[in-house]
Structure 1
Amino acid sequence: MTMTSTDQQTETAEFSFDGLYIDGEWAPSGTGRVEQVRSPFDGRLVVEVAKGDAADVGRAVAAASRVHAAGALPLSRRIEILDAAAVALVERAETFARAIALECAKPIKTARGEVSRAVDTLRFTAAEARTQSTSTVPVHAVASGEGKLAYTLRVPIGVVAAIAPFNFPLNLVMHKVAPAVAVGCPVVLKPASQTPVSALLLAQLFADVGLPAGWLNVVTGGGSEVGVPLSTHPDVAYVTFTGSPSVGWGISAAAPRKKVRLELGSNAPLIVDERSDWRAAAEAAAFGGFVQAGQSCVSTQRIFVHRAHVDRFTDLLAEMVSTLVVGDPLDETVDVSAVINSGEAERIESWIQEARQGGATVVIGGERDGAVVSPTILRDVSPEMSVQCREVFGPVVTIVAFDDFADALAQANDSDFGLNAGVFTDDIAHALEATRRLEFGSVYINDAPTVRVDLQPYGGVKDSGNTREGPHYAMEEMTDVKFVTIRPTA
């Protein structure tokens, strides 16, 4: 949508905030600058947010460091806050869902699902906090340990720098903030520049349910202005980053003495075996390849189908994809809307054109209208094409025929990434072989790879990262182990 300068001057934003959220207060950034966030779908003004810089990061880290030095809130209080936050999020669900739909063009029904998952993430984290325990160490098994009591404690690692992506602007933030609160680590959060609203609403929610000042600070702004000074700040002990491999590994290289945990990209494979319910696989692919316009780290991208089924599978998938409703994310009927911006849409379109020029067949889709890319299925692709060897992060899937199951596994592994993989098979031997041979953090049998249960260990290998998220696993990452021995004096 094109606007005149007069239109832009008089336009009212959907949301408003009084600056950055630092040490329990809303305040302008030190730069005094603001930036507009507009809907990827129609360009409407979503919010004007403060544009932070290194000085703002310094203020936020100082606030977090102060409360860390003062000692963690009692565990019982942290659990109360997490429980109350879950209740408050349910009450504010529609506000959060609308924010998600507007800031990242996620269809409103899918946005509601993200809010529901974020509630679950809070509840899982609170439950995990209730079960944290010490563990005894049998030092009396050696002579020097006789008569001693020994155990381990998990203690908060320190200030957490959380850098979040645009595609799940609430739930992926929650996967960083909730575990940190649970273990007693204060947080400085940098949301994605394209999607700050959910994070700012969350800061207000936590304040409303009693999280004290300094425990959650939100600094909005770009990667170079905020992300770099935050991840390299000497008083930050732990960096949790979700985003692109190039940025993630760059953060890790720039902060070699910090604990840096990365959840990065993928080009998730789905294998459809000869002995399988290939119709169910097509249905799973119709969801997994196109939900939220394919902008998920585990979006189904590379589909390998046994030659006995490939034509029927392709026809059925194309039929299902043709029924997807494309349009305004606030429309209750819409399944697929815009990608995050027109630049990304143009890139995706160029990759489709590259594949077409290289001999690939466009079964359906392939068009672009602004930031909206139509759901696209490609066949006859080759391994070196961008749509096959790179992460599309858009509503595009490829289909490749195979004759031998072992070859399909090898093709699935032929990737720089290793996050999620899915296999449809009724052959138990093939299922077990897949779980052994597939080089991925998660393997789903008779399901698409576009799956994440929020309490599971979630993460990958190779260029997909170096961590496992999920409340239990994130809480372990955000703590250090302290070993204690007690020797009676009498």
Structure 2
Amino acid sequence: MDMLIGGKHVSSDDVEEVKNPYNGEIIDTVPIAHLQTADLAIMEANKAKDVLIEMSAFKISNKLYNVVEKLKEKRQEFAELLTLEVGKPINESLMELDRSIETLKLAAEEAKRIYGESVPLDAGLNGKGFFAFTQRLPLGVVVAITPFNYPLNLTIHKIAPAIACKNAVIVKPPTEAPLTVMKFCELLNEEFPGAVNTVTGYGSEVGNYLVSSPDVDKISFTGSITTGLMISQRAGMKKVTLELGGNDPMIVLNDADIDKAVTGVINGAFLNAGQVCMGVKRIIIDNGIADEFCEKLVKETEKLVMGNPLDSKTTLGTLISEKAAIQVEETVNNAVNDGAKILAGGIREGAFYHATVIDNVTSDMDLVVNETFGPVAPIIRVNNLDEAIGIANNTDYGLQAGVFTNDYSAAMRCAKEIEAGTVFINKQSTFRTDNMPFGGFKNSGVGKEGIKYAVAEMTKTKLIGLNLR
């Protein structure tokens, strides 16, 4: 599949194979771009931004709705490609398509709601006789660097608001899973020729170049802390949004509905084989109910079905690669060597890693100190709420958190004291609607996504003042 630059297909003599993590088969190849190609994309995006600025909000909105309809028509086709390159079960891919369609709709709606405001200058000294108002203007060119785990939806969370507020976009798709993103950009190009450009290749070359270019106005990145820090250092005065992952806790207090909490872990720790930034990474549970909770969790975990991700019966797919599965395996084994106990799973088969429940985990184990990107549910037992909140906050991350309890006094204390961008009560951290503000504290990043909030990050505010005296 070729890159798309200035509305035209661009190839390269160098190519990268995209492989199916389930069976290792080559799905397609994509070009390996170099600096000259990245420079061409920047030039074309800067041309396209001037065309977008001249479009009315009405036209932008209608064109985005056209893309919604096109994606609906190709829903099954996109979902199957997504499953082939990522390894997630087909039913999860279909859910990602449904979310992507809704995210596009939100952007189409938001394109008509980019408001300024009147400013009462007479509230300030010497302001009497003046009238002022603000406008929110596009930044210009947005570079979107996207991850492999939800490649389509997370890319749309960057592209759609950028287009809604009349920015041109350069997309650097994930190296491991670029095809669905590139195919979607083809749909966008039908409505917005030249406004969305795709550049494939290595982050160390083209990624660095795009981030550092003075002709780029905004970087929106989802990925690792290491890369996020590098981007923030090289971006200069550009606006930057960084979504850098999480180590999300789920606190289960002794008065919680255990069955609901178990369901929360199943949906939160094993979704997309645990490759979710807001997935349940640490289960912090009151000792008084821990044994019953673990027994029920193991029973439900063992119901998950591993197999061909294209089979609708499969509920647990592969990790993105065998290398990723080996890394999870080593992390779990290290925890066992340090005293943790596997209650279910703990087995790797190629790029598959069995859904794993592991008890007797302590908060200093690497399994829970760092973000483990795999289907692992680590149990940390505590004796009281103070201890639970302390462990929840004992991390460099602060993306989302979940608390299960029927004591709303305890729930509100958790909501106040847990250091995370979002705290859900009686729901696991993986819950997200595509209109909500999404983004964390600490090393989980800076800025917010969610269409309305992303638009705010992708615009600049100008004040216009009139002297009426």
Q: CA deviation at 1:284?
A: 1.1
Write the mapping of 1:235-254 to structure 2, written as runs, cut at 5 A: 235-254=215-234
Q: 333, 341, 360: which one pairs with 2:340?
A: 360
Q: 71, 74, 97: which one pairs with 1:115?
A: 97
What's the counterpart of residue 394 of structure 1? 374
3-state SS in 2 of match to 1:261: strand
* Separation of aligned partners in 2, 1:236 and 1:123: 27
Where structure 2 has 5 or more consecutive residues not aligned to the other structure, the ranges are none
* Separation of aligned partners in 1, 2:394 and 2:296: 27
* Separation of aligned partners in 2, 1:403 and 1:354: 25
Post-superposition CA distance 1:255-276 (Å, at most 9, x none): 2322121001111110001111
* Separation of aligned partners in 2, 1:143 and 1:465: 38
**Quick one: which amino acid aligns to residue 337 of structure 1?**
G
What's the counterpart of residue 46 of structure 2? 65
* Separation of aligned partners in 2, 1:257 and 1:33: 33
Post-superposition CA distance 1:388-413 (Å, at most 9, x none): 11101100111111111111011011
Q: 10, 21, 26: which one pairs with 1:27?
A: 10
1:380 aligns with 2:363: no
Write the mapping of 1:217-256 to structure 2, written as runs, cut at 5 A: 217-256=197-236
8 A contact 2:137–2:461 mirrored in 1: yes
**Quick one: which amino acid aligns to residue 29 of structure 2?**
E
Percent identical: 36
8 A contact 2:118–2:134 mirrored in 1: yes
What's the counterpart of residue 442 of structure 1? 422
* Separation of aligned partners in 1, 2:200 and 2:72: 25
- For structure 1, which segment, 242-251 or 199-208, has the greater mean C-alpha deviation from structure 2 after superposition? 199-208
* Separation of aligned partners in 1, 2:326 and 2:116: 53
Q: CA deviation at 1:71?
A: 5.6
Q: 94, 97, 101: which one pairs with 2:79?
A: 97
3-state SS in 1 of match to 2:264: helix
Q: 318, 321, 324: which one pairs with 1:344?
A: 324
* Separation of aligned partners in 1, 2:115 and 2:334: 55
Q: 294, 298, 319: which one pairs with 2:278?
A: 298
- For structure 1, which segment, 60-69 or 475-484, has the greater mean C-alpha deviation from structure 2 after superposition? 60-69
Q: 27, 33, 43: which one pairs with 1:46?
A: 27
What's the counterpart of residue 9 of structure 1? none
Post-superposition CA distance 1:265-318 (Å, at most 9, x none): 111110001111111101111111101100000111100111111000000000
Post-superposition CA distance 1:172-221 (Å, at most 9, x none): 0000000000000000000000111111111111123x2122x1000111
8 A contact 2:114–2:165 mirrored in 1: no
What's the counterpart of residue 88 of structure 2? 106
What's the counterpart of residue 12 of structure 1? none
* Separation of aligned partners in 2, 1:138 and 1:467: 28
Post-superposition CA distance 1:207-236 (Å, at most 9, x none): 23x2122x1000111111221111111101
8 A contact 2:363–2:380 mirrored in 1: no
8 A contact 2:52–2:167 mirrored in 1: no
* Separation of aligned partners in 2, 1:221 and 1:451: 32
3-state SS in 1 of match to 2:445: coil
Q: CA deviation at 1:143?
A: 5.7
What's the counterpart of residue 112 of structure 2? 130
* Separation of aligned partners in 1, 2:360 and 2:305: 26
3-state SS in 2 of match to 1:274: coil
1:279 aligns with 2:259: yes
Write the mapping of 1:315-334 to structure 2, written as runs, cut at 5 A: 315-334=295-314
3-state SS in 1 of match to 2:111: helix
Distance 1:363 1:63, change over 3 A: same
3-state SS in 1 of match to 2:374: coil
Distance 1:173 1:26, change over 3 A: same
* Separation of aligned partners in 2, 1:240 and 1:132: 19
Q: 466, 476, 482: which one pairs with 2:446?
A: 466
Q: 394, 397, 406: which one pairs with 2:386?
A: 406
3-state SS in 1 of match to 2:29: strand
* Separation of aligned partners in 2, 1:143 and 1:166: 53
Q: CA deviation at 1:140?
A: 2.6
* Separation of aligned partners in 1, 2:149 and 2:108: 25
Scaled by the length of structure 2, the TM-score of the pair is 0.98
8 A contact 2:144–2:172 mirrored in 1: yes
**Quick one: which amino acid aligns to residue 21 of structure 1?**
L
Count of residues paired in the alignment: 468
What's the counterpart of residue 458 of structure 2? 478
Q: 157, 168, 177: which one pairs with 2:150?
A: 168
Q: 166, 174, 179: which one pairs with 2:161?
A: 179
* Separation of aligned partners in 2, 1:404 and 1:270: 14
1:157 aligns with 2:139: yes
**Quick one: which amino acid aligns to residue 196 of structure 1?**
P
**Quick one: which amino acid aligns to residue 36 of structure 2?**
A
Q: CA deviation at 1:124?
A: 1.0
**Quick one: which amino acid aligns to residue 31 of structure 2?**
A
Q: CA deviation at 1:488?
A: 4.2
8 A contact 2:306–2:316 mirrored in 1: yes
Q: CA deviation at 1:134?
A: 1.9
**Quick one: which amino acid aligns to residue 381 of structure 1?**
V
Q: CA deviation at 1:384?
A: 2.0
Q: 315, 322, 333: which one pairs with 1:335?
A: 315
* Separation of aligned partners in 1, 2:52 and 2:176: 34
8 A contact 2:212–2:236 mirrored in 1: no
Q: CA deviation at 1:148?
A: 2.4
**Quick one: which amino acid aligns to residue 25 of structure 1?**
K
* Separation of aligned partners in 1, 2:447 and 2:325: 30
Distance 1:485 1:71, change over 3 A: farther
